[in-house]
Structure 1
Amino acid sequence: MGLRERKKHETRAALSRATIRLSLERGWDNVTVEDIAAEANVSVRTFRNYFSSKAEAFVAQYLDRMLRVADDLRARPADEPLSEAVVDAVQARFSSEPDANDGYPRSREWADDIRLMLTEPDVQGAFLRAGMLIQHELAKAIAERTGTDLMRDVYPNLVAAATGAATTVAMDHWLSANPPVEIGPLLREVLDRLWVGLSAPERDALTYEGSLGEPL
């Protein structure tokens, strides 16, 4: 990455961090684009050059991190099994507990605030759009690695969609876990379960019942 691109990346990250920090401190409706720009020491015009809305800036850190998973997947050894490559690529981007400097909560209180913020319709919509972009880019990387075609084969899109869903589940559990857990090992557990076919945990018996009252 050249100097110009690195500075652009740093500005984008600073704006996203400022959006998260101010929104959690003041509440979503009490933060303006002007507030965010001032916090990041840039102009409102600069903010508009990077983001179309507060919500887009809020999810940018997550989006950028997950897009780098696709780049990491492309860089992994060609003879590595796809399951190992995907799991390791995702986990590497969440290898340590996130902190405030990375735009993520640094304490359980911040985690609770993040969960509350995700109930905002604008933020939910931005996360949905980000998820679609992440899935597309990850599917392209998987297609390249497996020699499949995005237009003809469902496999790369299926793996990308399942990986994204598993990552979301892990993040949601990390935000609400009591006692707290580390995100890295949690992600590996979730993704490992995915790759073995989501095998059910061992139980003495299933407790769900069908419409006639019979065990399923």
Structure 2
Amino acid sequence: METAGTAVGAPARPGLRERRKQRTRDALVRAALELIATRGYERTTVDDIVAAVDVSQRTFFRYFAGKEEVAFFVTRLAESRVLEAVRARPPHETPLEALRRAVLDSWDGINEAVERLVPLDLHMRVYRVIESTPALLAAHLRRATELEEELARVVAEREGLDVDADPRPRILVAAFGGVVRVAERRWSAGEDHSTEAMRDLMTTCLDQVGPALAGNWRTGPSPNRANET
């Protein structure tokens, strides 16, 4: 029986208790990222985070296993959106094009999802902290390896391959992940730390995958010189 005022097939709105829990979780994320961006990761404690939100440590640990998990919460959200975007790519696209388009075409949607939690500028500031903090960078690279395995399985599934019998999905995703890391490092080392600069670098690096793997480097212009002309 249809409930009055509720459209058929519309997702049920979370109850009051769930909405309160989500608000508390989101407040903890925002406070943690602001502290990490301002003080640095090592100088931010769980006590600092809970004090900023005026909750107990017990409440914090209901939502997060520790400081590292909350530091990466928004980043993990963005990664999950990329996985969803790869699954949704049209089947006629080549695997590399599907990965490329999944990242670039979903860029604005990912940013909107991030901004529902924290200001985009804050997310990018924390991204720089991750790149410059050995403990966080190690955790980021560890998760990148896990994400590559998930992506390889998605690519294998859409191509009708057995990921454990055919090495191509893992080879492709490893190369793709390397390109993303190059873009991240160049962005972190540069002067423009906007999301637009990150997207432009990502686009440039992804566009160079084919020439870098198959082109003649001695006779062709470098990407940097080509962009300057």
TM-score class, shorter? 0.7 to 0.9
Unaligned runs of 5+ in 1: 205-216
Give the number of the structure with larger relative contact order, counting CA–CA contacts within 8 Å between residues 6 or more apart.
1
1:157 and 1:13, CA in 2 relative to 1: closer, same or farther beyond 3 A? Answer: farther
Partner of 1:62: 75
1:158 and 1:45, CA in 2 relative to 1: closer, same or farther beyond 3 A? Answer: farther
Q: TM-score, normalised by structure 1?
A: 0.73
Q: Is the 8 A contact 1:74 1:141 kept in 2?
A: yes
Q: Offset of 1:31 from its aligned partner? A: 1.4
Q: Structure 1, residues 23-79: CA drift from partner, whole Å, max 9, x if none?
A: 121232321113223445654334323432222322232222122211111112122
Q: Distance in 2 between matches of 1:146 and 1:104?
A: 37
Q: Structure 1, residues 152-199: CA drift from partner, whole Å, max 9, x if none?
A: 121111222222221122122222224566222321221121244444
Q: Is the 8 A contact 1:19 1:57 kept in 2?
A: yes
Q: Is the 8 A contact 2:28 2:49 kept in 1?
A: yes
Q: Percent identity?
A: 30
Q: Is the 8 A contact 2:130 2:140 kept in 1?
A: no
Q: Distance in 2 between matches of 1:29 and 1:13?
A: 21
1:106 to 102, 113, 121: 121
Q: How does 1:1-216 map to 2 (within 5 A)?
A: 3-4=13-14, 14-40=27-53, 43-95=56-108, 101=115, 106=121, 111=125, 114-178=127-191, 182-198=197-213, 199=215, 200=217, 202-203=220-221
Q: What RMSD over aligned residues (CA atoms) do the two structures have, in Å?
A: 3.5
Q: Is the 8 A contact 2:78 2:110 kept in 1?
A: no
Secondary structure class of the residue paired with 1:187: helix
One-letter amino acid of the counterpart of residue 106, structure 1: D
96-105 vs 64-73, greater mean Cα deviation: 96-105
1:117 and 1:64, CA in 2 relative to 1: closer, same or farther beyond 3 A? Answer: closer
Q: TM-score, normalised by structure 2?
A: 0.69
Q: Offset of 1:22 from its aligned partner? A: 0.5
Partner of 2:225: none
Unaligned runs of 5+ in 2: 1-10, 223-229
Q: Distance in 2 between matches of 1:128 and 1:9?
A: 28
